Amino acid sequence: MLWKKILAVAVVTGAMLLPALAEQPQVAMYGYHSEVTVFWDPAYSFSNEIIWMHNVYETLLRYDPFTDQFQPVLAEGYERSEDGLTWTFYLRRGVKFHTGREMNAEAVKGAIERTISLGKGAWYIWDAVESIEVVDDYTVAFHLKYPAPMDLTVAACYSAFIFDPAYDHDWYLQGHDSGTGPYTIERFEGNTLMVLEKFEGYWGGWEGNHFDKVVFKTVPSPSTLRLMVESGQVDIAYQLPVSDIQALKDNPNVRIVHTPSFQNLLALFNTQKPPLDNPLVRRALAYTIPYQDVIQGVLAGYGRQARGVVPYGLWGWSDRVKQYTLSLETAKLLLSEAGYPEGGFKLLLTYVSADENERRVAELWKSQLAKLGIELEVRGMPWDSQWELGQAPDPTKRQDIFLFYWWPDYAHPHSFLSAMFQTEEEIVFNLCYYSNPLYDELITRAAELAGIDRAESINMYVEAQNVLMEDVPGVSIYDMEYVRAVNAKLQGYVDNPAYPHVVWWYNCWRG
């Protein structure tokens, strides 16, 4: 009798296990170093949450900066009028929001208008829009105040999501979503865990290899994150310390993926406060930055020295732009010319205290300046304190050097060249307090041409950057590379620097 019982138990357990095995869902895991959610509302989104939002919400187009091409997503095609003032988008048919409603021209208009009227996130990318017209159910037209590249705008990383406009902010705060994307929110815990499950009615369908669930988890300790990558628990991780990256390189289970990013580290000089009001001194400083030491010692080689201000890989970058190198002799000559042969002055550099890389760059620079008799005070501050000091009413009370990162709101050189260097009545990001009418003219013209004649536009951006390199209101030190440790089995993953840290999990599978 006993063996019968055992058999029965075995059969029953086996029967219980089998479907479990067969239905074992494919789960992808994204280990993120910071909170995975800051904003819940797609119209508010301006932070880390884009890493999951781009899987839940979609944009009309998606931009590939390497080929400078647009990929159709919710729009199947588009055209631009001769004068660049009207852009017409033809929408994909049969797309459903997760809320059950249909995605049509009315919804697109509603979503974008909600984003603009809320004034949150990067709403200003829509600044050129005069009105949005519903031409028919599946055609929507943007009428512009001035020519602007709307294809870039609708493909922006922030504030370009198409959502069901029927819901308000509070509804999103409760953890709901209203996107059209392949995944929808299953559950979440605070800001540190987000679990997405597949949306059965996704317009792309679920044929072939896809993940059923995607987990986004905050793992603040880099050491833990590294362990999780090594053990295969996490499929992708970012912001590991360079020493860990070096160690992971030899691990066959891990692939190190590094791609040029559109993020660069800049030092903005206070052009209104002695001694940096003197262009000679500023130029001298540009010769004192240990560019190569920074790239080797801080980035472990994962980065490249910046050229101009536009990062490598973004249109507008060019080898025709002047580049500075470390040369203390040249710097000394320039300083003598400016009347500071022995240095003898003190400069205040501010950076964001939580950022270890910025701190290291500042320290490396400090040790070079010391050799020229210049004392660099390195002050780490929370971002808003740093920023507020930079906006102090009296320019002489402000810092001398403002160290910070810039990355574009949308893939356009204008994002770099206008925000930081264009004349500003009230200081927002022109933290070098630079004002040059010739330069302003150049970039304004270039921006207008961008939607019409790209090549000429680039020429003007190059010229504008050479003006900057001559006046040196600031120096871009390096263009970052995004270095990620990826599970070697993960397939289909392509890094797209126009959407920092976003992985389109629908396109990925485990081989």
Q: Which residues bind another protein (CB under 8 A)?
A: 27, 29, 35, 38-39, 46-47, 119, 122, 124, 190-193, 195, 215, 217, 219-224, 227-228, 233, 241, 243-244, 247, 290, 293, 296-297, 353-354, 356, 359-360, 362-364, 366-367, 370, 378-385, 387-389, 409, 426, 428-429
How many CB atoms neighbour CB 24 within 10 A?
A: 9
Nearer to another protein, 104 or 368 (CB): 368
Residue 73 CB contacts under 8 Å (≥ 6 apart), including other chains: 58, 59, 60, 61, 62, 92
**Could you tell me the smallest distance in angstroms from the CB atom of residue 349 to another protein?**
11
Task: Show the tokens assigned to 152.
Answer: 């870039």
Nearer to another protein, 187 or 320 (CB): 187
Interatomic CA distance for residues 425 and 264, integer angstroms: 25
Residue with tokens 């029953």: 12
DSSP character for 508?
Answer: -
Residue with Cβ nearer another protein (195 or 338): 195
Nearer to another protein, 84 or 303 (CB): 303
Q: Considering the complex, what minimum distance in angstroms separates the CB of residue 500 from another protein?
A: 13
Do the beta carbons of residue 261 and residue 407 sit within 8 Å?
yes
In the complex, least distance from residue 108 CB atom to another protein, rounded to whole angstroms: 24
Residue 95 or 362: the one with the smaller Cβ distance to another protein is 362
Compute the least distance from the CB of residue 26 to another protein, in Å.
13
Residue (84 or 497) nearer to another protein, CB: 497
Which helix (H) or strand (E) covers residue 293, if one does? helix 291-293
Q: Contacts for 339-342 with beta carbons within 8 Å, 24 or more apart?
A: 340/275, 340/281, 342/373
Q: Which of 395, 408, 388, 442 is nearest to 269 (CA)?
A: 395
Q: Which is nearer to another protein, 150 or 362 (CB)?
A: 362
* Nearest Cα to Cα of residue 211 among 228, 197, 200, 201: 197
Query: From the CB of 498, what's the least distance to another protein, in Å?
Result: 16
Rounded to whole angstroms, how far apart are CA atoms 222 and 500? Answer: 19
Which of residues 11 and 17 has its CB atom nearest to another protein in the complex?
17
Minimum Å gap between C-beta 419 and another protein is 8
Cβ closer to another protein: 210 or 217?
A: 217
Q: How far is the CB of 234 from another protein (least distance, A)?
A: 8
Least Å from the CB of residue 410 to another protein: 11
Compute the C-alpha angle 238/499/94, nearest 5°: 125
Cα separation of 456 and 461, whole Å? 9
3-state secondary structure of 285: helix
CB of 192 to another protein, least distance (A): 7
SS3 annotation, 329-385:
HHHHHHHHHHCCCCCCCEEEEEEECCCHHHHHHHHHHHHHHHCCCCEEEEEEECHHH
- N- to C-terminal Cα distance for the chain? 46
